[in-house]
């Protein structure tokens, strides 16, 4: 068991969960304004790709992050425009954007780098790793918490900031209102559409960061379809965390931890296929404790009482 | 003249909701707007509130022409509206609901404490007490209505539009609301009040404007008119006063014993309720909403499992049985909340009409659509349901017309037992008359009816026996002869029966 | 004039979408230096160029239609079944195992395999329904998660216990099915197989079921407002089970016909990598859960995919261009362009004088 | 072409084509996957194109997105009347087994697996031999006596690599511990890296990448944490000679090239052929083929020499490497 639960397990969990967490936070914001964003996978992929392009073009980490954010912003603007302005079914838009992102990144990989499948340059520099002064010297904790990429720490700050924003600020309050009862919010002169746009764009930023963490943090390369389903896991984390930043963080943590654990379990005489299942099985088991609202309440909300 | 609306016409395609309507409002006045369902009251007010734009006509505020592109404009000009359907955020607190849109803040932070203080201050000033920290979803409808009005007042409205504000309130809540309105009017606020309840209009209004089919039939001073005249102006004909024949009692059709529903709260929602309904009688249940009526109905209809107690219907034990079985045993059910239980908004009139009738309308599981349509068409005709066609979606019907459809559907069951919950909520006088007549005729044909209504006059008018519920129990029983509004009100508030 | 307008209106949206998709695709083609007309001609040929390519497209559409129908049924009942992939995989695996091990004549194997496939898909799907009914687990999450579990499980089965040890043994796959248990091809030498007829039959049956049966009516009402349905005596639990079961069963059928009509064995990854499940969900959503519309949308999506392959075969334009066109087209089809268009016209008429 | 049981109808394809000289011969390479980063296909494509140019054939490479698409592509090339249709890998087996008999007068070739049809030429590799060499080198070089492999998926195909490696490892280093971890797919480089980090944390100082795109993650971990790694198919040491110290080779380019050459030159034969160490179809950098990169001191010339001997023994049959798929 020592072998299972060692420092590197927790450190690895932290790295694994960061992209999921960032994207899931984006998904949560969208969910809060009533837009269920299935396109997280695509947005993340665009983020991962554009971070690498930014790095290639500018050679600067800060600029490549900005570039990644810019690209995902443009992409999420498309999502917003289609689903808010043109009233398209959000789920269709999400799925279509996933396809589009995959096609676009693969296409651009060829158009920009003239390679297929992956772009890798051993001289490319990834996100800087931070050693946290005091903590790094604490025996166990230092190994787990110190020495990760800036975005790992940033994601923790973002959780706190988002929590503060949603539940403590006026603008966050209005965002919640726009999601809870858009008709009522509109009748009070709250610019619901503008808020929805804002939420989707914020989601774009977060997915951009998630992608950058993947392509410049976890590794330093871009490979086709490198999100490998993490966007969907993020979606699950969003729902499991009930679109609450802290809840989402908890769900992502569970997932990151289980994924790292599942890797380790491969050594323990269980067929790999089953160890790979572990995170999903555990998530389902965890759902036993996070009961859904139940259809009665759902229906009550959507059918709207005649009062 | 504070407000003038002149020659307002509003068309939706080929429907003209308002035709050359003129309407004005004085400062400090309570001006009632009445008319049948679909007469155009809400439309007129939506135009005033900037939610719709008129096809033609002019609005003047303090003599100056104005035009509102959005509710925000209207709010800025001191016009506030309490909508026919609540515009609240159930998961937010009372204070949050009131200050939303103009939140007190510190830097970017939302100062919830200041909001609560402001709410308490406002509530005190206008005499409408609320708990600022309570979630609105957990408040009674009366309090929710109060929150709506406080919200409008917080926004600084001078002209307040109330669209059917008393539709769901209990008599006591109605009294409190009307008192509050009067007080506010005395303080200089002006009100436009839409209601189908002529009694309360006669009580508070200074002037009354009547709409019929989108046109004004007249504006009268409240002191110069009476309910009969108003009804005539609205409907365009005399209404007949229904006489109630003596009850010819038959067998017990429904017998419930010791029904208890615990729920998650400390107090049980339903606490050992026993009652029976015999063939040929209407048993009315009165009570302030939230005292277990909803739970009682849901248990009887099979939508909620009781923790204790038994229900017998037409001699069969149906305790905890499925809705299907209970309906099979002879239940029809006009639900208390038509949008929640009564219809699927996305489905059309026919589809909504055949719920519960599919057994008779099918053969080997195949639905006979032609038969279904002619059945529903007949109801639409008989009850005067105003609908574009049988394929119109339910969400496009006005509430009153939807209610007529539901009543028709349930009466057509020809079942021995009928639950009629709020059968005329939000329904105009003409339609109310039809529904009341139908209920009484069912009773006369030896039907057993359990009537639940927050409308005391309705309970008094229709019931042969009246039960009053308080805190999940039956607080008292009165016969039609001995029941008066005072006695019932006392029981409803938890007092002892005095007669 | 008016008549023409009425005729054009429903076509306006798809045409606009097509134009948008092709325009974006043209830009991409130009970027890689291809000829736009030539590329599009190849794309058309690849999808509908001749009888061979038409049947090809329909063969690819077959599993997409079936999955789409299943999803449509669940959607109609108000359940967001995102688990088609897992249901399809388990269905395919069960069909393969049955066809291999069921003794008896070919037709029996075939029917047994189809039934087993539908049962497996249906049970897996109903399991998610059960979790929802019993433990109030959000169906959308569980179905998504169950996909992973199903695919890993199927992968394990064909990697270890039921691995094909005949041929090169390099693949995680079952042995090849006996020829007698193959679904017949509709035309000799063409890939279109009898599964397509099943898909067509399914489309018509589902359409009739939804529109003309009591259960179909109850399902629609349940989806519209579950409280209304239960108020009217519809048994949500039972109906949820039924609709999830049939929904998963259709996905299972999709997997089965792929195995029995195309691959003739269960091959790990062969059903997941083409993204049939997502295509099916997309077809359903595009068609607003209408069964016939779903079939049409599925064929459209399949045509874009086969057309893309044709383009890649015969031009130097990379396949991704087709997926770009596909996604842009779908984005625009789903947009309520006509909606806003008509609304704007109305608004104009409202404010201005009548024309 | 050793060990192939030649078929009489061997030259039919070429002969048929020879009928009309004016028309260039058309050869298609239909791949069951997209080339992507997969050097296996990339090399094959390269050899194919080179041969096409050199021998004056009109060549066309067609990639497929998924198995269903592959069969459609294969059938399309038949419909489009190519003179020779080359395809590759076990993924193409089923389709070819269907299409070839339906078109008995067409010529086919398949690389990396055997399809037993009269009009198909099959060429396979004995990767386990190269993997044996890699394992042997690792066994000789490891200081910690712990080595690892990060593998794409737990599928029979890849056991040719892991089992071959393990045999070689045990051959040179009885006590060495061998970690195997599976990414679960062919594209997740981030997970490949995590797995490498994990194996390194358990003490492995040499980790073989067998995970397609995931290898890039292994290489990156090697660079960051300072252990040694190996790549696949082509000489990956060029990426980072300091950490990527070996590469297991597979000559798909040569095979594709030879196939086209034989077809154009009229020496094309149906039947099966396999390429191992002996035929120079597979190999290991520094051992069977020189590399542009400097030899890492971690491996050392001594080890290279020893492994060279082992290679000779395998060629001569003195050492028998078990093919796990043949069991
Ligand atoms: N958005 C709309 N589109 C089309 N017709 C509409 C629309 N809104 C209202 N109408 C029509 O205008 C008429 C008047 O509706 P309005 O809501 O003003 O009635 P009302 O007097 O408020 O009725 P009620 O007493 O039921 O509240 C209705 O008959 C309806 O057909
Ligand atoms: N999209 C629409 N198309 C046509 N008519 C509509 C539409 N939306 C609303 N209406 C009409 O607007 C009016 C107001 O609708 P609403 O839901 O407020 O009815 P209501 O005022 O509750 O009716 P009631 O007073 O009978 O309860 C109704 O008469 C309805 O017919
Ligand atoms: Mg109204
Ligand atoms: Mg009304």
Question: Hey, what domains does chain C have and what are their CATH numbers?
Answer: 12-336 (1.10.3470)
Shortest-distance Cα residue to atom 14 of ligand 1? B40
User: What residue numbers bound the domain in which A29 lies?
Assistant: 7-123+143-301
Residue A131 lies in a domain: no
pTM of the model: 0.83
- State both tokens at B363: 């053969």
Contact A105, A43 (CB under 8 A): no
| In the predicted structure, residue B447 carries a pLDDT above the cut 90 | yes
Domain with CATH 3.40.50.300 in chain B: 3-235, 252-492
pLDDT recorded at residue B241: 63
Q: Give me the DSSP letters along A132-193.
A: PTTGGGSHHHHHHHSSEEHHHHHHHHHHHHHHHHHHHBHHHHHHHHHHH-HHHHHHTT--HH
Q: Which pLDDT tens digit goes with each residue over C268-319?
A: 888 888 889 989 988 888 888 889 999 999 998 899 888 888 887 778 787 7
Q: Which pLDDT tens digit goes with each residue over A192-230?
A: 999 999 999 999 999 999 999 999 988 888 988 888 888
Contact B182, B149 (CB under 8 A): no
Q: Minimal CA–CA distance to A229: which of A6, A3, A16, A10? A: A16
Cα(C116)–Cα(D9) distance, rounded to whole angstroms? 44
Beta-carbon neighbour count of residue B172 at 10 Å?
A: 14
Asked if B345's CB is within 8 angstroms of C224's CB, the reply is yes
Name the residue facing A181 among B71, B89, B109 (closest C-beta): B89
When mean pLDDT is compared across A127-141, B131-145, C58-72, C226-240, the lowest value belongs to A127-141
Considering its fold, how many domains does chain A have in total? 1
pLDDT mean over A33-40: 91
pLDDT above 90 as % of chain B: 47
Residue A136 lies in a domain: no
pLDDT recorded at residue A307: 35
Residue A130 lies in a domain: no
Cα(A59)–Cα(A62) distance, rounded to whole angstroms? 9
pLDDT mean over A248-258: 90
Please name the residues in contact with B324: beta carbons below 8 A apart, sequence gap of 6 or more.
Answer: C233, C234, C235
pLDDT recorded at residue D145: 93
Q: Is B141 on the interface with A (CB under 8 A)?
A: yes
CATH number (domain holding residue A297): 1.10.3470
Q: Is A297 on the interface with C (CB under 8 A)?
A: no
Chain A residues near residue D184 by CB distance under 8 angstroms: 272, 276
Residue A133 lies in a domain: no
| Overall size of chain C counted in residues | 355
| In the predicted structure, residue B206 carries a pLDDT above the cut 80 | yes
| In the predicted structure, residue C343 carries a pLDDT above the cut 80 | no
CATH topology of domain B252-492: Rossmann fold (3.40.50)
Q: Which pLDDT tens digit goes with each residue over B40-64?
A: 898 999 999 988 889 999 999 988 9
pLDDT recorded at residue B239: 62
Cα(C114)–Cα(C306) distance, rounded to whole angstroms? 26
How distant is the alpha carbon of residue C105 from its chain centre?
31
- State both tokens at C234: 């519809």
Q: Write phi, then psi, for B134 (nearest 5 degrees).
A: -80, 145
- State both tokens at D298: 């971690």
How are beta strands D146-151 and D206-210 bridged, if at all?
parallel
Q: Which pLDDT tens digit goes with each residue over B243-289?
A: 677 777 888 999 999 999 987 767 788 999 999 999 999 999 988 77
Does residue B37 line the site of ligand 1, with CB under 6 A? yes
Range B308-340 burial, b when 16+ CB lie within 10 A, else e: ebebbbbeeebbebbbbebbbbbbbbbbbbbbb
| In the predicted structure, residue C204 carries a pLDDT above the cut 70 | yes
Please name the residues in contact with B407: beta carbons below 8 A apart, sequence gap of 6 or more.
Answer: B334, B383, B420, B423, B435, B438
Those residues whose beta carbon sits under 5 angstroms from the ion ligand 3 are: B 42, 84
pLDDT recorded at residue C10: 60
pLDDT mean over B54-75: 89
Asked if D94's CB is within 8 angstroms of C267's CB, the reply is yes
Ligand 1 atom closest to the Cα of residue B36 is: 25
pLDDT mean over C115-119: 97
Q: Which chains touch C (3 or more CB pairs under 8 A)?
A: A, B, D
Chain D residues near residue A16 by CB distance under 8 angstroms: 194
Cα(C269)–Cα(D66) distance, rounded to whole angstroms? 9
pLDDT confidence band for C11 (50 / 70 / 90): low
Cα(C324)–Cα(D126) distance, rounded to whole angstroms? 40
Q: Is A117 on the interface with C (CB under 8 A)?
A: no
pLDDT recorded at residue C6: 56
Does residue B398 line the site of ligand 1, with CB under 6 A? yes
Cα(B249)–Cα(B230) distance, rounded to whole angstroms? 37
Q: Is B214 left (phi over 0), alpha (psi -120 to 50) or beta?
A: left
Chain D residues near residue A120 by CB distance under 8 angstroms: 216, 239
| In the predicted structure, residue C149 carries a pLDDT above the cut 60 | yes
Residue A268 lies in a domain: yes
| Range 58-87 of D in CB contact (< 8 A) with A | none
| Overall size of chain D counted in residues | 327
How are beta strands B282-286 and B331-334 bridged, if at all?
unpaired
Give the CB-side neighbour count of residue D89, counting CA atoms within 13 A. 20
Q: How far is the CA of B51 from the centre of ligand 4 (A)?
A: 17
Residue segments in chain D with a per-residue pLDDT below the cut of 50 = 1-21
Cα(B466)–Cα(B284) distance, rounded to whole angstroms? 5
pLDDT recorded at residue D222: 93
Contact A75, A26 (CB under 8 A): no
Contacts 24+ apart (CB under 8 A), D42-45: D42/A116, D42/D234, D43/D233, D43/D234, D43/D250, D43/D251, D43/D252, D43/D253, D43/D256, D44/D88, D44/D111, D44/D252, D44/D253, D44/D255, D44/D256, D45/D256
When mean pLDDT is compared across A20-24, B152-156, B163-167, the lowest value belongs to B163-167
- State both tokens at C15: 């045409």
* Residue A48 DSSP label: H
Dihedral Cα D195, D196, D202, D207, nearest 10 deg: 130
How are beta strands B331-334 and B417-421 bridged, if at all?
parallel
Residue C46, strand partner residues? none
pLDDT mean over C124-152: 90
Contact D199, D209 (CB under 8 A): no
Beta-carbon neighbour count of residue C122 at 10 Å?
A: 26
Candidates 3.40.50.300, 3.30.1950.10, 2.60.40.10, 3.40.1550.10; correct CATH number of B3-235? 3.40.50.300
- State both tokens at D228: 């040694």
- Site residues for ligand 2, CB cut-off 6 Å: B 37-38, 42, 84, 396-400, 426
3-state secondary structure of B362: strand
Asked if D37's CB is within 8 angstroms of A118's CB, the reply is yes
3-state secondary structure of B475: strand
Beta-carbon neighbour count of residue A258 at 10 Å?
A: 21
Q: Is C166 on the interface with D (CB under 8 A)?
A: no
Q: Which pLDDT tens digit goes with each residue over A66-113?
A: 999 999 999 999 999 988 988 888 888 898 899 899 889 988 988 888
- E-strand stretches of chain A: 118-120, 129-130, 148-149, 221-223
| In the predicted structure, residue B156 carries a pLDDT above the cut 80 | yes
A with C: touching (≥3 Cβ pairs within 8 Å): yes
Rg (chain D; Cα; Å): 20
Helix (H) or strand (E) holding B308: strand B308-313
How distant is the alpha carbon of residue A180 from its chain centre?
23
């Amino acid at each position: 068991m020592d072998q299972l639960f060692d420092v590197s397990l927790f450190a690895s969990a932290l790295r694994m969960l960061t992209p999921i967490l960032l994207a899931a936070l984006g998904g949560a914001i969208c969910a809060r304004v009533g837009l269920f964003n299935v396109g997280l996978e695509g947005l993340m992929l665009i983020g991962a790709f554009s971070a690498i392009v930014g790095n290639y073009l500018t050679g600067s980490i800060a600029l490549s992050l900005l570039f990644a954010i810019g690209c995902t912003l443009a992409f999420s603007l498309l999502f917003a425009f289609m689903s808010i302005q043109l009233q398209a079914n959000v789920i269709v838009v999400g799925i279509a954007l996933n396809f589009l992102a995959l096609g676009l990144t693969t296409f651009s990989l060829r158009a920009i780098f003239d390679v297929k499948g992956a772009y890798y340059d051993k001289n490319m520099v990834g996100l800087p790793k931070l050693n946290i002064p005091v903590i790094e010297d604490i025996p166990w904790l230092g190994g787990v918490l110190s020495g990760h990429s800036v975005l790992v720490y940033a994601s923790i700050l973002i959780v706190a900031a988002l929590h503060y924003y949603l539940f403590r600020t006026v603008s966050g309050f209005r965002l919640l209102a726009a999601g809870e009862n858009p008709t009522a919010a509109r009748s009070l002169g709250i610019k619901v559409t503008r808020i929805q746009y804002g939420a989707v764009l914020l989601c774009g930023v977060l997915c951009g960061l998630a992608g950058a963490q993947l392509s410049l943090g976890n590794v330093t390369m871009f490979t086709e379809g490198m999100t490998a389903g993490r966007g969907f896991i993020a979606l699950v984390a969003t729902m499991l965390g009930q679109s609450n930043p802290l809840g989402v963080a908890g769900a992502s943590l569970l997932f990151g931890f289980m994924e790292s654990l599942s890797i380790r379990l491969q050594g323990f005489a269980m067929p790999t296929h089953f160890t790979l299942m572990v995170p999903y099985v555990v998530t389902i088991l965890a759902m036993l404790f996070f009961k859904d609202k139940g259809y009665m309440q759902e229906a009550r909300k959507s059918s709207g009482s005649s009062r | 003249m504070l407000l003038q609306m002149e020659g307002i016409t509003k068309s939706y395609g080929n429907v003209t909701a308002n035709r050359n309507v003129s309407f004005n409002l004085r400062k400090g006045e309570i001006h009632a707007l009445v008319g049948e369902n679909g007469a155009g009251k809400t439309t007129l007010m939506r135009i005033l509130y900037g939610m719709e734009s008129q096809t033609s006509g002019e609005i003047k505020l303090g003599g100056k022409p104005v035009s509102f592109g959005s509710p925000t404009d209207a709010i800025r000009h001191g016009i506030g509206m309490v909508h026919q359907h609540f515009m609240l955020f159930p998961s937010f607190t009372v204070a949050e609901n009131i200050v939303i849109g103009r939140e007190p803040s510190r830097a970017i932070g939302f100062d919830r404490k200041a909001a609560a203080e402001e709410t308490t201050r406002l509530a005190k000033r206008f005499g409408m007490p609320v708990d600022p920290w309570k979630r609105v979803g957990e408040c009674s409808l009366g309090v929710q209505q109060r929150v709506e009005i406080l919200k409008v007042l917080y926004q600084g409205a001078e002209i307040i539009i109330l669209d059917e504000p008393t539709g769901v309130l209990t008599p006591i809540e109605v009294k409190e609301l009307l008192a509050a309105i009067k007080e506010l009017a005395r303080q200089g606020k002006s009100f436009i009040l839409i209601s189908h309840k002529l009694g309360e209009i006669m009580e508070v209004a200074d002037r009354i404007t009547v709409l019929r089919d989108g046109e004004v039939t007249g504006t009268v001073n409240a002191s110069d008119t009476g309910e009969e005249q108003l009804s005539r102006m609205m409907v365009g004909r005399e209404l007949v006063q229904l006489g109630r024949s003596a009850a010819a009692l038959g067998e017990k059709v429904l017998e419930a014993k010791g029904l208890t529903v615990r729920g998650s709260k400390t107090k049980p929602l339903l606490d050992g309720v026993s009652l029976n309904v015999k063939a040929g009688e209407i048993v009315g249940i009165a009570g302030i909403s939230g005292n277990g009526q909803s739970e009682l109905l849901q248990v009887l209809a099979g939508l909620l499992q009781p923790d204790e107690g038994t229900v017998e219907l037409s001699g069969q034990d149906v305790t905890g049985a499925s809705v299907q079985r209970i309906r099979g045993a002879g239940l029809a059910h006009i639900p208390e909340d038509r949008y929640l239980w009564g219809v699927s908004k996305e489905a059309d009139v026919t589809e909504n009409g055949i719920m519960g009738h599919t057994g008779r309308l099918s053969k080997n599981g195949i639905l006979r659509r032609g038969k279904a349509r002619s059945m529903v068409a007949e109801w639409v005709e008989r009850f005067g349901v105003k609908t574009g066609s049988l394929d119109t979606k339910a969400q496009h019907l006005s509430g009153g017309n939807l209610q007529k459809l539901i009543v028709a559907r349930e009466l057509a069951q020809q079942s021995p037992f009928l639950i009629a919950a709020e059968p005329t909520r939000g329904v105009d006088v003409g339609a109310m008359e039809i529904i009341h007549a139908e209920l009484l005729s069912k009773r006369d044909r030896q039907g057993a009816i359990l009537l639940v209504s927050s409308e005391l006059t309705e309970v008094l008018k229709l019931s042969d026996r009246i039960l009053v519920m308080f805190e999940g129990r039956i607080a008292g029983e009165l016969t039609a002869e001995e029941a008066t509004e005072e006695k019932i009100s006392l029981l409803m508030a938890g007092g002892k029966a005095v007669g | 004039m008016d008549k023409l307008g009425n005729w054009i209106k429903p076509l306006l949206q798809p045409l606009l979408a097509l134009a948008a998709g092709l325009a974006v695709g043209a830009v991409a083609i130009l970027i890689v230096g291809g000829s736009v007309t030539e590329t599009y001609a190849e794309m058309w040929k690849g999808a509908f160029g001749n009888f061979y390519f038409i049947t090809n497209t329909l063969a690819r559409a077959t599993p997409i239609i079936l999955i789409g129908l299943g999803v449509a049924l669940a959607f109609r009942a108000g359940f967001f079944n995102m688990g088609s992939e897992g249901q399809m995989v388990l269905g395919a695996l069960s069909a393969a195992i049955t066809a291999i091990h069921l003794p008896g004549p070919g037709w029996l194997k075939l029917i047994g395999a189809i039934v087993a496939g539908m049962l497996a898909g249906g049970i897996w799907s109903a399991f998610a329904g059960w979790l929802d009914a019993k433990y109030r687990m959000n169906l959308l999450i569980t179905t998504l998660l169950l996909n992973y579990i199903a695919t890993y499980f199927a992968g394990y089965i064909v990697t270890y216990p039921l691995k094909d040890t005949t041929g090169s043994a390099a693949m995680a796959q079952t042995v090849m099915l006996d020829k007698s248990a193959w679904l017949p091809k509709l035309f000799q030498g063409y890939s279109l197989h009898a599964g397509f007829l099943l898909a067509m039959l399914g489309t018509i049956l589902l359409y009739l079921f939804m529109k003309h049966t009591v259960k179909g009516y109850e399902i629609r009402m349940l989806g519209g407002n579950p409280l209304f349905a239960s108020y009217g005596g519809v048994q949500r639990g039972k109906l949820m089970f039924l609709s999830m079961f049939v929904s998963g069963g259709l996905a299972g059928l999709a997997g089965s016909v792929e195995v029995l009509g195309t691959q003739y064995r269960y091959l790990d990854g062969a059903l997941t990598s083409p993204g049939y499940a997502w295509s099916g969900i997309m077809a359903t959503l595009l068609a607003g859960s209408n069964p016939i519309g779903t079939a049409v949308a599925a064929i459209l999506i399949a045509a874009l995919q086969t057309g893309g392959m044709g383009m890649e075969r015969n031009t130097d334009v990379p396949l991704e261009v087709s997926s770009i066109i596909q996604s842009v087209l779908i984005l625009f089809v789903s947009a309520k362009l006509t909606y806003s268009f008509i609304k704007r016209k109305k608004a104009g008429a409202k404010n201005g004088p009548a024309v | 072409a050793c060990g192939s049981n030649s078929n009489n109808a061997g030259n039919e394809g070429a002969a048929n084509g020879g009928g009309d000289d004016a028309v260039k011969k058309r050869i298609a390479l239909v791949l069951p996957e997209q080339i992507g980063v997969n050097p296996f296909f990339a090399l094959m494509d390269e050899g194919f194109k080179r041969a096409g140019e050199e021998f004056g054939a009109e060549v066309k490479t067609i990639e497929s997105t998924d198995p269903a698409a592959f069969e459609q592509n294969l059938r399309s090339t038949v419909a489009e009347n190519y003179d020779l249709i080359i395809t590759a890998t076990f993924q193409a087996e089923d389709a070819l087994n269907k299409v070839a008999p339906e078109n008995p007068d067409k010529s086919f070739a398949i690389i990396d697996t055997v399809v037993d049809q009269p009009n198909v030429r099959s060429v396979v590799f004995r990767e386990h031999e190269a993997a044996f060499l890699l394992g042997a080198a690792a066994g000789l070089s490891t200081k910690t006596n712990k080595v690892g492999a990060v593998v794409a998926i737990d599928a029979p195909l890849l056991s040719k690599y892991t089992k071959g490696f393990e045999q070689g490892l045990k051959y040179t280093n009885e006590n060495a511990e061998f970690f195997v971890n599976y990414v679960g797919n062919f594209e997740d480089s981030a997970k490949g890296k995590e797995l490498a980090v994990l194996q390194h944390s358990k003490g492995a100082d040499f980790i073989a990448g067998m995970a397609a795109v995931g290898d890039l993650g292994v290489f990156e971990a090697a660079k960051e944490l300072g252990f040694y790694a190996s790549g696949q198919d082509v000489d990956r040491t060029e990426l980072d000679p300091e950490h990527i110290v070996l590469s297991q080779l597979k000559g798909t380019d040569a095979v594709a090239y030879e196939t086209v050459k034989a077809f154009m030159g009229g020496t094309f034969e149906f039947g099966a052929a396999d390429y191992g160490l002996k035929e120079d179809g597979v190999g290991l950098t520094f051992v069977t083929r020189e590399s542009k990169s400097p030899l890492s001191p971690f491996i050392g010339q001594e080890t290279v020499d020893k492994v060279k001997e082992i290679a000779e023994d395998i060629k001569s049959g003195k050492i028998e490497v078990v093919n796990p798929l043949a069991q």
